[in-house]
Amino acid sequence: MFSQYASTIYKLGEAIHGSEQERKVLEFIESVVPSGRRLPVSTKRWEFSSKVIIEGREVNATVMPYSKGRAKGRIGREIASFRFPDHPFKVKDLYNVAKENGAEAVIFYDEGKTRRISVPGDIPAISLPFKPQGEAEIDVNSSLNDSTSFIYEVTFEGKEEEYVAVSAHYDHWLSGFHDNIFSVSTLLSFRPTTGKRGVKLIFFPSEEGPRCCTGSTQYDVRNISSAVVLDSLYPSRMVFSSPPEMWDLAMNSSIKVKRIEMPTPFSDGWTFLSKGVPSITLYNDDMIPVYHSDADLPLPEDELYSSMVSEELNRIVSALEKDLKMERRFVPDYVNLTSQFA
């Protein structure tokens, strides 16, 4: 069923937070698991248009959220141009350097693909699938407008009114197959077993924006004892990101663990932690070369990997039936892409 679910969502196209496409993904999720309930959240819908002309020829470009503005000039002079960096989180730094040096617009290029990475939007920023040269005109209109999205929560009761949450966000930039269609489809295929504690499958909207984890920050975590978050999973290994109290759960994984690390403040797992709920985020930064790009496409290994993730979820959820308390709290360390003890 995984492949059928993933194919259907993939064909719906880019699901930007607060948009009609995001709503269509939600409606598909509801059609597969109709026993859940909608929980409304306040968000923003990003609306934009663009026109980019290089050397007198209009070209297709991808707008970087949530930039806007107009610029005309020579690439390398009025308009800054950068090869896409080795890590997407460096984009903001390059954007700020360009602004500080008087650039009127910024182009990021990456051979054969385009990306969406959020930037502070004082001047227009675009992504191109080739290295641009010469004269350019860039015109980007962009706005964030109030919208309502919905968390979708499916409950499997246990013996007690306490639950392990298993979640995935269903909005995505561009093709978004592994961030996060894969995780949504895996969660749709997952049927948990319950015992002492029940299980809640939670599909979050508006994770990608307008700020990280907008949807999950509005979720009521009462009766949630612990959480497992699926985000940016990519065949065929995983990163196990959690408080140290949960690291032992990675030792018997049937999936190759790339590393075990402190929590990172870039996913819905951080929302649970910030509300005092112990959480594990499973992801794989092997996908960095296609992260938030139109080249994040289905792979032949996805079907097998999804079944492995489902098995891993059953193992972890079963272990989380035991009581678990975090001894310490955390603060984000954005510079080093991790967290520290408070």
CB 227 within 8 A of CB 164: yes
| Residue of 189, 207, 178 whose CA lies nearest to 272 | 207
Nearest-angstrom CA–CA distance, 235 and 238: 8
What number does CATH give the domain 2-45+146-341? 3.40.630.10
* Between 265 and 218, residue with greater pLDDT: 218
At 232 the pLDDT is: 98
Closest CA to 201 of 223, 177, 229: 229
Q: How far apart are CA 74 and CA 77, in angstroms?
A: 5
Q: What is the pLDDT of residue 330?
A: 55
Q: What is the mean pLDDT of residues 203-226?
A: 97
pLDDT at residue 206 in the model: 98
Kindly state the average pLDDT of the residues 186-207: 95
The yes-or-no verdict on residue 175 having pLDDT over 80 is yes
Q: Does residue 224 surpass a pLDDT of 60? A: yes
147 in Cβ contact with 183 (< 8 Å): no
Mean pLDDT for the stretch of residues 270-297:
97
pLDDT bin (cut points 50, 70, 90) of residue 97 is very high
| Neighbouring C-beta atoms of residue 134, cutoff 10 Å | 11
Residue 86's Cα: distance from chain center in Å? 18
At residue 325, does pLDDT exceed 90?
Answer: no
* pLDDT number for residue 339: 60
* Average pLDDT of every residue of the chain: 94
**pLDDT tens profile 157-170:** 999 999 999 999 99
Stretch 51-56: mean pLDDT: 98
Identify whether the C-beta of residue 204 lies closer than 8 Å to the C-beta of residue 249.
Answer: no
Q: How far apart are CA 100 and CA 104, in angstroms?
A: 10
Instruction: Indicate if the pLDDT at residue 59 is higher than 60.
Output: yes
- Rounded CA-CA distance 112/130 in Å is 7
Q: Residue 43, SS3?
A: strand
Distances (CA, A) of 333 to 29, 66, 247, 263: 34, 24, 19, 10
Residue 332 has pLDDT above 80, yes or no: no
In this prediction, residue 154 carries a pLDDT of: 98
Per-residue confidence (pLDDT) for residue 38, from 0 to 100: 98
Residue 190 pLDDT more than 80? yes
Is residue 291 classed as helix, strand or coil in its secondary structure?
coil
Its pTM stands at 0.94
Which two three-digit tokens encode residue 70? 């107009």
pLDDT of residue 322: 72
309 within 8 A of 228, measured Cβ to Cβ = no
Structure confidence at residue 342 (pLDDT): 57
Domain ranges in the chain are 2-45+146-341, 61-142
* Helix orientation angle between 302-319 and 2-11, rounded to the nearest 10 degrees: 110
Gap between the Cα atoms of 220 and 197, Å rounded:
17
DSSP H stretches of helix in the chain: 2-11, 20-32, 91-100, 182-189, 268-274, 302-319
pLDDT of residue 338: 63
pLDDT at 112: 96
- Which helix (H) or strand (E) is 257 found in, with range? strand 256-261
Instruction: Give the C-alpha separation, 9 to 43, whole Å.
Output: 21
Please give the pLDDT value at position 250: 93
For 115-130, what is each residue's pLDDT tens digit?
999 998 789 999 999 9
3-class SS of residue 41: strand
* Amino acid in position 281: T
- For residue 40, report the phi and psi dihedrals to the nearest 5 degrees: -70, 145
Structure tokens at 242: 């959690």
Q: Does residue 221 contact residue 277 with C-beta atoms inside 8 Å?
A: yes
Percentage above 90 pLDDT, the chain: 89
